[in-house]
């Protein structure tokens, strides 16, 4: 058996086994060399790669600083939004899902159906946002019944809360995710970060924004955190304390119910804004979180422009309020004094054209005090004939008109006060003297913001010390004050006695049966000037008819300050299409003074 | 019985057991966080394999060789049937369910194939064209069937039989030239018509893993990181970040050696190599009584060596990712059982030689 099966010679077997043995030894030497190379020589390289595989740095977002009022009440704070999503794929019965969602959100089932139908083209596994900011009770209800409602999902999102909703929205502004454009411009931001987009949130972004922390963790390949190696805590942003008085702000907003317009109240001792209202306004919480395109379009296309801050961005004709500037310019330029008498017959012919007083029957003999008190147009038309437009512009600008107030809010409008040079440059036209007559009563090609009017009346109240307006009082970080606003005033070169003459006129407006008598408070010397800015010309043949329509009703101004001798408060009230200023704007001012001084 | 214990190669058998136990220890490390049962399953399979190992000793060597053709035919038929109606597991139709366990037929066909090829090789003193065609048919049939499953890795392992046939036998040069032409043409044809895009990617990514970092090169890179970061002594048992944190793919099967390299370092790898070296050295240099036994020993050990090399080189990026387990070590009952049975025949040949010499 052994013999017949063995054909291979012993040498042949020897040859084969020698070949294989040499081969074996070579293989194992090469293998050992290869592993030596990878494990020993390149050990550091692969160790670093292994470490970077598992070591991950996770950003911990810093809480944003608070915005507080002067008494440190929270106007803007942080919260967490619970948003409700529906995934159709997991719904066993779509009708039941919609019914449940309606019951949970207190929305109409049809509204929810519509919201879901918008995503018809999306895959069934897509999570559809149904409702933002679900109350905590409902969140717990859904989360505890996740087996019963697999189609509902709650997503947690850090957000900004404004406890008083619409109140002071134009001051506070809003935050939202930064745009790709901002991502390029701003340093230290990542896509998805929230950034102040308007108001205090924007201006003090760098203070409000905290410093993010970093958590170094060990993560496995499935993204699960296995271990926390190191944690660098985030630091909360600084708190911005405003000059705003929450109660006053709230009170004025209530007074503005049903009105469109703006109001500003300033503390004359510091220039700090105590309240600033612009109506209509908006709820800043709306922006915090992902925006729905339709809601956004609805907001920016609203004809009432709720995002527009009328106090700083509304450009209007000042109307009769401008007579204050005119009176000061005339006194300073010696074009008039206390003995100047001008007779009003209801109209006056200047440069071959009739200019009308608002009182058709005329005011009779007027001195400068009574002209301010009665707001007599004819008196000021005649001053307009005596003064050059460039001279008027000098005083107007000195007092702040057509100039930014530099209040610490973004996107302030500069407005316009015309000069000869301006008209030639911009319109390529010569200035006509007749235009100066319109300017004299606050008309013509002039655009001012209510903030500028407030600055003007404040400068008059302080007899030539123009206050620098501000909203920020203090910035605090970790309980320490980092920044405090120092009040600043600018001196306007107008003689003190001329201010006293004008102030006497303004005193009579309120306290001597003048146009602002509705603002009178016994025991408080309020000085002010009304302005009823006509939308239609008095010469319009259909004036009486058209003026009844709301959109042709005049705008109402009332700029005032008090007390007369030691001024503390100045304010401007502007009601769009309010009608007679003495009947609309002055009583509102009275209520505000009463509130402040009682 | 007394003679059996005296002449049975206890030392080499101990090496086999050690390899399997190292495997079980590593499988525990690789899979204890997710599939606990892998570890106990493999332990059970080892019991089955050792039992089967000794059952083989009851069968006469002659009978084993004589029955090889029958088993070969049966398994080829099973493979054919599987193409039509196999249970589909991880994309391949290579498993059939037997009770609680899944059996991978392609692992078992290696045994009758090696036996039958060995028998056939004794029929001629030099491989001429007729002999070559005959070998190619015997080998080609299971190769094509396994490749069609598709399990290119296991099919590719069968080519080791051809390499060793050439080492063992004289061959006409014209056949070598002819074969090289056929292989080149076949490789090109396979590339374009047989390989699925993911299989092509595997081969390309092997050549340039950095470029395919996110997709197919990922496995190679993660394996290299595991092995390389192990250093001299390793990160310690159950402490390898690459395997414990699941960066290492198929770590209890194809990349088991990467787990060893990471947790036990170069020393652990060297120990594994030492075990395999002793195994190969002892099993290649044994005395045989007949040519067919001699050929079988070389063919079957050659297969183990080939599969060992492919698997090891794959773990450090010197070979494309093939889906080939490390013999005796990787998770997989069929593979373990088949290799133990195949080895049992070699042990029996060795034992018989000793017994007959006395």
* CATH number, domain with residue A207: 3.90.1310.10
pLDDT in tens, B216-249: 678 889 999 999 999 999 999 999 999 888 888 8
Number of domains, chain B = 1
A492 and A532 share a domain? yes
Cα nearest neighbour of B305 on chain A: A24
Residues of B with CB below 8 A from A28's CB?
A: 273, 277
| A53 in a structural domain | no
pTM: 0.69
A412 and A317 share a domain? yes
The pLDDT of A46-50, averaged and rounded, is: 93
- Are the C-beta atoms of A358 and A494 separated by less than 8 Å? no
Burial of B207 (0-12, 13-18, 19+ CB in 10 A): exposed
User: Binning pLDDT at 50, 70 and 90, where does residue A472 land?
Assistant: very high
**Contacts by A427-434, CB closer than 8 A, 24 or more apart:** A431/A389, A433/A351, A433/A385, A434/A350, A434/A351, A434/A353
A187 and A257 share a domain? no
Tell if the CB–CB gap between B228 and A226 is shorter than 8 Å.
no
Burial of B130 (0-12, 13-18, 19+ CB in 10 A): exposed
pLDDT above 50: residue A220? yes
Residues of B with CB below 8 A from A24's CB?
A: 277, 280-281, 284, 305
What is the spatial distance between Cα A194 and Cα A177, in angstroms, rounded to a whole number? 4
- Are the C-beta atoms of A187 and A310 separated by less than 8 Å? no
What is the spatial distance between Cα A363 and Cα A375, in angstroms, rounded to a whole number? 10
**Per-residue confidence (pLDDT) for residue A210, from 0 to 100:** 86
Cα nearest neighbour of B227 on chain A: A39
| A215 in a structural domain | yes
- Are the C-beta atoms of A163 and A74 separated by less than 8 Å? yes
| A13 in a structural domain | no
- Are the C-beta atoms of A555 and A535 separated by less than 8 Å? yes
**Per-residue confidence (pLDDT) for residue A163, from 0 to 100:** 92
Indicate the SS3 state at residue A573.
strand
A231 and A310 share a domain? no
A154 and A255 share a domain? no
B295's tokens: 């050929």
Chain B interface mutation, best of A5, A18, A39, highest count of B Cβ atoms under 10 Å: A39
Tell if the CB–CB gap between A17 and B309 is shorter than 8 Å.
no
What's the N-to-C CA distance of chain A in angstroms?
Answer: 129
A233 and A253 share a domain? no
**Per-residue confidence (pLDDT) for residue B207, from 0 to 100:** 67
Residues of A with CB below 8 A from B229's CB?
A: 43, 46-47, 49-50
A229 and A293 share a domain? no
- The per-residue b/e assignment along B236-257, b for 16 or more CB within 10 angstroms, e otherwise, is eeeebbbbbbbbbbbbbbbbbb
pLDDT above 50: residue A543? yes
| A6 in a structural domain | no
What is the spatial distance between Cα B98 and Cα B141, in angstroms, rounded to a whole number? 25
Percentage of chain B modeled with pLDDT above 90: 51
**Residues on A contacting B at a C-beta cutoff of 8 Å:** 1-2, 5-8, 13, 16-17, 19-21, 24, 27-28, 31-32, 34-36, 38-40, 42-43, 45-47, 49-51, 53-54, 218-222, 226
Pairing of strands A67-68, A239-242: parallel
What is the spatial distance between Cα A180 and Cα A195, in angstroms, rounded to a whole number? 12
Chain B interface mutation, best of A38, A219, A226, highest count of B Cβ atoms under 10 Å: A38
Percentage of chain A modeled with pLDDT above 90: 61
pLDDT in tens, A77-110: 988 878 888 888 788 888 888 888 888 888 888 8
* A446: CATH: 3.40.710.10
Spatial neighbors of A241 by CB under 8 A, at least 6 apart, are A68, A69, A70, A72, A472, A473, A474, A475, A476
User: Binning pLDDT at 50, 70 and 90, where does residue A5 land?
Assistant: low
- Per the structure, the complete domain to which residue A293 belongs is given by 248-597
Tell if the CB–CB gap between B290 and A49 is shorter than 8 Å.
no
What is the nearest CA distance from A26 to chain B, expressed in angstroms?
A: 11
pLDDT above 90: residue A200? yes
A356 membership: H or E segment, kind and range: strand A353-356
pLDDT in tens, B54-79: 999 889 998 999 999 999 999 999 88
What is the nearest CA distance from A61 to chain B, expressed in angstroms?
A: 27
- Per the structure, the complete domain to which residue B192 belongs is given by 2-357
**Residue of A5, A16, A49 lying closest to B290 (CB–CB):** A5
What's the N-to-C CA distance of chain B in angstroms?
Answer: 15
pLDDT above 70: residue B93? no
User: Binning pLDDT at 50, 70 and 90, where does residue B90 land?
Assistant: very low
What is the nearest CA distance from A231 to chain B, expressed in angstroms?
A: 21
Higher pLDDT, B277 or A191: B277
Tell if the CB–CB gap between B245 and A220 is shorter than 8 Å.
yes
**CB pairs A-B closer than 8 Å:** 115
**Per-residue confidence (pLDDT) for residue A437, from 0 to 100:** 94
The ipTM value here is 0.92
A433's tokens: 């003297």
What is the nearest CA distance from B251 to chain A, expressed in angstroms?
A: 13
| A31 in a structural domain | no
Torsion of CA A81, A87, A88, A93, to 10 degrees: -70
pLDDT in tens, B276-332: 999 999 999 998 888 999 999 999 999 999 999 999 999 998 888 888 999 999 999
If we measure between CA atoms, which residue out of B123, B122, B18, B64 comes closest to residue B349? B64
Cα nearest neighbour of B229 on chain A: A47
The pLDDT of A466-478, averaged and rounded, is: 95
Residues of B with CB below 8 A from A39's CB?
A: 227-228, 230-232, 261, 265-266, 269
For residue A349, the 8-state DSSP code is E
Indicate the SS3 state at residue B338.
helix
3-state helix, strand, coil in chain A (%, to 5): 40, 25, 35
**Per-residue confidence (pLDDT) for residue A281, from 0 to 100:** 92
Phi-psi category of A34—alpha, beta or left, where left has phi over 0 and alpha has psi -120 to 50?
Answer: alpha
Higher pLDDT, A596 or A160: A596
Residues of A with CB below 8 A from B270's CB?
A: 32, 35
What is the spatial distance between Cα A574 and Cα B291, in angstroms, rounded to a whole number? 114
pLDDT in tens, B155-210: 999 999 988 888 888 888 888 888 888 888 888 887 888 777 777 777 776 666 66
Cα nearest neighbour of A220 on chain B: B245
A187 and A333 share a domain? no
A569 membership: H or E segment, kind and range: strand A569-575
Tell if the CB–CB gap between A220 and B316 is shorter than 8 Å.
no
Residues of A with CB below 8 A from B167's CB?
A: 16, 19-20
If we measure between CA atoms, which residue out of A402, A379, A405, A406 comes closest to residue A392? A402
A219 and A350 share a domain? no
A268 and A295 share a domain? yes
Tell if the CB–CB gap between B285 and A53 is shorter than 8 Å.
no
Number of domains, chain A = 2
What is the spatial distance between Cα A86 and Cα A127, in angstroms, rounded to a whole number? 5
A231 and A290 share a domain? no
Of A216, A242, A268, the domain-final residue: A242
Of A242, A270, A288, the domain-final residue: A242
3-state SS, one letter per residue, for A269-305 = CCCEEEEEEEECCCCHHHCCCCCCHHHHHHHHCCCCC
Helices B129-147 & B173-189 angle (0-180, nearest 10): 20
Query: Quick one: CA dihedral B4, B8, B11, B12, positive or negative?
Result: negative
Of A212, A242, A272, the domain-final residue: A242
What is the nearest CA distance from A37 to chain B, expressed in angstroms?
A: 9
The pLDDT of B96-112, averaged and rounded, is: 76
pLDDT in tens, B110-152: 999 999 999 999 988 788 888 888 999 999 999 999 888 778 8
If we measure between CA atoms, which residue out of B270, B151, B241, B237 comes closest to residue B199? B151
pLDDT above 70: residue A128? yes
**Per-residue confidence (pLDDT) for residue A129, from 0 to 100:** 80
If we measure between CA atoms, which residue out of A103, A108, A87, A91 comes closest to residue A141? A103
Which residue in this structure is represented by tokens 């993010």? Answer: A212
A197 and A274 share a domain? no
Tell if the CB–CB gap between A50 and B241 is shorter than 8 Å.
yes
Q: Where are the beta strands (DSSP E) in A371-526?
A: 465-467, 472-477, 480-484, 489-491
């Amino acid at each position: 058996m052994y013999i017949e099966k063995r054909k291979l010679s012993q040498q042949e077997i020897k040859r084969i086994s020698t070949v294989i043995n040499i081969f074996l030894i070579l293989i194992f030497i090469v293998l050992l060399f290869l592993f030596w190379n990878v494990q020993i020589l390149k050990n550091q390289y692969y160790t670093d790669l292994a470490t970077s595989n598992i070591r991950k740095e996770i950003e911990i977002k810093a809480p944003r600083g608070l915005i507080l009022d002067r008494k440190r009440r929270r106007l803007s704070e942080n919260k967490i939004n619970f948003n409700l999503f529906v995934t159709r794929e997991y719904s066993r019965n779509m009708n039941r899902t919609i019914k449940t969602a309606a019951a949970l959100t207190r929305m109409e089932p049809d509204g929810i159906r519509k919201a879901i139908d918008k995503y018809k083209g999306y895959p069934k596994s897509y999570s559809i946002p149904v409702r933002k900011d679900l109350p905590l009770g409902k969140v717990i209800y859904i989360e505890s019944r996740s087996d019963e409602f697999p189609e509902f999902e709650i997503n947690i999102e850090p957000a900004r809360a404004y406890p008083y909703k619409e109140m002071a929205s134009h001051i506070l502004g809003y935050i939202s995710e930064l745009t790709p454009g901002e991502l390029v411009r701003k340093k230290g931001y990542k896509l998805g970060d929230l950034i102040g987009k308007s108001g205090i949130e924007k201006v003090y972004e760098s203070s409000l924004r905290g410093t993010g922390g970093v958590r170094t963790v060990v993560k496995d390949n499935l993204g699960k955190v296995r271990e926390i190696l190191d944690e660098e805590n985030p630091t909360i942003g600084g708190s911005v304390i405003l000059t705003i008085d929450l109660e006053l702000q709230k009170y004025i907003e209530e007074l503005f119910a049903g009105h469109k317009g703006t109001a500003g109240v300033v503390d004359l001792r510091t220039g700090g804004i105590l309240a600033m209202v612009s109506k209509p306004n908006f709820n800043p919480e709306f922006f915090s979180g992902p925006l729905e395109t339709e809601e956004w379009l609805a907001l920016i296309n609203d004809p009432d422009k709720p995002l527009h801050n009328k106090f700083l961005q509304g450009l209007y004709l000042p109307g009769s309020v401008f007579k204050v500037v005119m009176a000061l310019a005339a006194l300073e330029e010696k074009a008039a004094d206390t003995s100047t008498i001008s007779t009003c017959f209801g109209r006056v012919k200047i440069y071959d054209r009739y200019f009308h007083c608002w009182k058709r029957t005329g005011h009779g003999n007027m001195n400068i005090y009574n002209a301010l008190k009665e707001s007599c147009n004819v008196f000021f038309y005649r001053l307009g004939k005596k003064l050059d437009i460039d001279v008027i512009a000098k005083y107007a600008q000195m007092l702040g008109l057509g100039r930014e107030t530099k209040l610490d809010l973004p996107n302030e409008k500069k407005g316009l006060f015309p000069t000869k040079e301006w008209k030639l440059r911009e319109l390529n036209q010569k200035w006509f003297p007749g235009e100066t007559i319109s300017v004299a009563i606050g008309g013509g090609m002039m655009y001012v913001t209510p903030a500028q009017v407030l600055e003007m009346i404040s400068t008059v109240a302080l007899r030539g010390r123009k206050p620098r307006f501000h909203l920020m009082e203090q910035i605090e970080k970790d309980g320490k004050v980092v920044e405090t606003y120092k009040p600043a005033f600018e001196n306007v070169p107008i003689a003190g006695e001329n201010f006293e003459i004008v102030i006497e006129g303004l005193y009579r407006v309120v306290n001597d049966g003048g146009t602002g008598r509705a603002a009178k408070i016994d025991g408080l010397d309020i000085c002010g000037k009304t302005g009823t800015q006509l939308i239609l010309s008095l010469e319009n043949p259909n004036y009486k008819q058209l003026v009844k329509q709301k959109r042709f009703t005049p705008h109402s101004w009332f700029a005032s300050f008090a007390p007369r001798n030691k001024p503390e408060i100045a304010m401007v009230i502007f009601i769009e299409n309010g009608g007679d200023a003495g009947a609309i704007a002055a009583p509102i001012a009275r209520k505000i003074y009463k509130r402040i001084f009682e | 019985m007394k003679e059996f214990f005296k002449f049975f190669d206890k030392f080499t058998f101990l090496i086999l057991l050690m390899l399997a136990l190292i495997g079980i220890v590593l499988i525990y490390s690789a899979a204890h966080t997710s599939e606990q049962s892998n570890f106990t399953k493999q332990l059970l399979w080892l019991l089955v394999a050792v039992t089967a190992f000794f059952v083989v000793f009851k069968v006469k060597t002659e009978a084993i060789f004589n029955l090889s053709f029958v088993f070969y035919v049966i398994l080829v038929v099973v493979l054919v049937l599987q193409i039509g109606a196999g249970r589909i597991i991880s994309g391949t139709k290579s498993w059939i369910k037997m009770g609680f366990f899944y059996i991978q037929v392609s692992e078992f066909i290696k045994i009758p194939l090696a036996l039958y090829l060995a028998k056939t090789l004794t029929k001629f003193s030099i491989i001429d064209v007729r002999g070559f065609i005959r070998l190619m048919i015997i080998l080609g049939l299971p190769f094509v069937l396994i490749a069609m499953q598709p399990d290119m890795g296991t099919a590719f392992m069968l080519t080791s039989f051809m390499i060793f046939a050439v080492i063992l036998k004289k061959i006409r040069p014209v056949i070598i030239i002819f074969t090289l032409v056929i292989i080149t043409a076949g490789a090109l044809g396979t590339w374009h018509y047989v390989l699925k895009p993911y299989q092509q990617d595997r081969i390309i990514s092997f050549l340039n893993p950095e470029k395919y970092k996110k997709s197919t090169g990922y496995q190679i890179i993660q394996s290299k990181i595991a092995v390389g970061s192990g250093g001299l002594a390793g990160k310690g048992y159950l402490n390898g970040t690459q395997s414990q944190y699941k960066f290492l793919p198929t770590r209890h099967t194809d990349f088991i050696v990467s787990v060893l390299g990471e947790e036990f370092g170069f020393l652990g790898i060297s120990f594994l190599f030492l075990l395999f070296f002793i195994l190969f050295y002892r099993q290649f240099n044994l005395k045989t009584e007949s040519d067919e036994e001699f050929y079988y020993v070389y063919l079957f050990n050659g297969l183990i060596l080939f599969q060992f090399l492919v698997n090891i080189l794959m773990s450090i990026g010197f070979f494309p990712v093939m889906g080939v387990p490390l013999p005796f070590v990787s998770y997989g009952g069929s593979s373990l059982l088949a290799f133990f049975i195949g080895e049992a025949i070699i042990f029996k040949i060795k034992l018989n030689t000793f017994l007959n010499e006395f």
